[in-house]
Amino acid sequence: MTTDSLKKDDDIILLKTVKDGGFSVVVNEKNRKKTTGLQTDATDFVLNATLSANGQNLSAKEVEEKGKHILLMMAELAPQDGFEGILISQMITAYDQGMKCFSKADLNIESSKIYERFMNQGVKLMRLYNQQLETLDKHRRKGKQKMTVEHVHVHEGGQAIVGNVNQGENL
Amino acid sequence: MKKPGKAIKKIDKKAPVKSKKEKTIVKQLSETFKISEDALVESTGFGKDGADIVVYAILKTLIPEGGDTKQTIKKINRFLSAMAELNPLDGFEGILISQLICTYKNAMDCFRIANSNKNIDDLFFKLQNQGIKLMRLYNQQLETLDKHRNKGRQKMTVEHVHVYKGGQAIVGEVTQGGKGVTIEN
């Protein structure tokens, strides 16, 4: 994700307007699927939400920079369907906010209370990222858990069950 | 004491009967916002009758936000096109997917409002925590959807099982029925 690739694929963002705190991103049609895994108006819905969540309190130029980076990041993470696109937008938010909390903690290093609070918040957000990544992996496996059992030796007097064991409800 | 059977009969008589001419919510929506009726029904995963409930719930979450009709149409269009693209295969999925999108939207809103505040105070942490909770919910919802699509099956590959003399082995699913009720004489 270098600035070179940005120049090559300049049309990834077409337009950006800031309107009462909200954002409006319009993405080239061929890049819609790339960034969010969606194709219709829903793309704008996801991108606007992502930018609005992460681009507050920034100047117009900073927002543009950040927007480009977020879109390129999303494209690189290659969502394969809409669920993944939405999840990846949340993952980027969790990451961004987590890092922000850590940097805020560093700024308040002389006040242990504020420092601790930001650190804890950052840890929470990073833990969230872990869960999200696990969810993404599970989704890519289609929710299947694969288990491979290679060798089971059952000797005299021994018993083994290989498989799911469920107990019915007690009356 | 009144007999319960009688009370039910009375209520039944008083219950208003829906006339067949009454317009469904889907029909009203497609007329006011000029969205195709079939597309609306399709996006919910339900048939024509069940679609009403989902569309009504979506409208309720979207409309109070802004009075601007143009904005509302935009919002509804976005929401429904997102639903259509996520392709619910049945009514369960339709409901779940509408919840997924609501969860996502609200989570992002939490972070947006938290960050729009220049001063960092209790509100910042409260909003962020709410956002984290919602994102965690999204994870659960997506996992539930995958499980539902997968019908809860797990794949297992077993390669070698050696059972020696006197040993016992079960390979496969083992399900125990519910315990019976013991009656004491």
Q: Where are the domains of chain A?
A: 4-141
Q: How far apart are CA B127 and CA A162, in angstroms?
A: 47
Q: Could you tell me where the beta strands, DSSP code E, fall in A22-171?
A: 22-26, 146-154, 159-162, 165-167
Q: Please give the helix or strand (H or E) that residue A18 lies within, else none.
A: strand A15-19
pLDDT in tens, B17-65: 555 566 777 777 777 767 777 777 777 888 877 787 778 777 777 766 5
- The answer to whether A135 contacts chain B (CB < 8 Å) is yes
Share of chain B above pLDDT 70, in %: 75
Q: In this predicted complex, what is the ipTM?
A: 0.73
Cβ contact (<8 Å) for A166 and B175?
yes
> Running DSSP on this structure, what letter comes out for residue B178?
P
User: What single letter denotes the amino acid at residue B158?
Assistant: V
Other C-beta atoms within 10 Å of A25: how many? 24
Looking at chain B, which residue has its C-alpha nearest residue A105?
B120
Q: Which of B168, B171, B177 sits opposite A168 (nearest CB)?
A: B177
With a cut of 50, say whether residue A15 has pLDDT above it: no
How do residues A61-72 score in pLDDT, each as one tens digit? 787 788 888 888
Chain A, chain B: beta-carbon pairs less than 8 Å apart: 215
* Predicted pLDDT of residue A2: 36
Q: CB of B64 within 8 Å of any CB in chain A? A: no
Exposure string of A131-170, with b = 16+ CB inside 10 Å and e = fewer, is bbeebbebbeeebeeeeeeeebebeeeeebebbeeeeeee
pTM: 0.72
Per-residue pLDDT band at B164 (split at 50, 70, 90): confident
**pLDDT tens figures, B131-157:** 999 999 999 999 999 888 887 666 677
Contacts of B163 in chain A (CB under 8 A): 154
Mean pLDDT of A116-136: 93
How far apart are alpha carbons B68 and B127 in whole angstroms? 27
Checking if the pLDDT of B104 tops 90, the result is yes
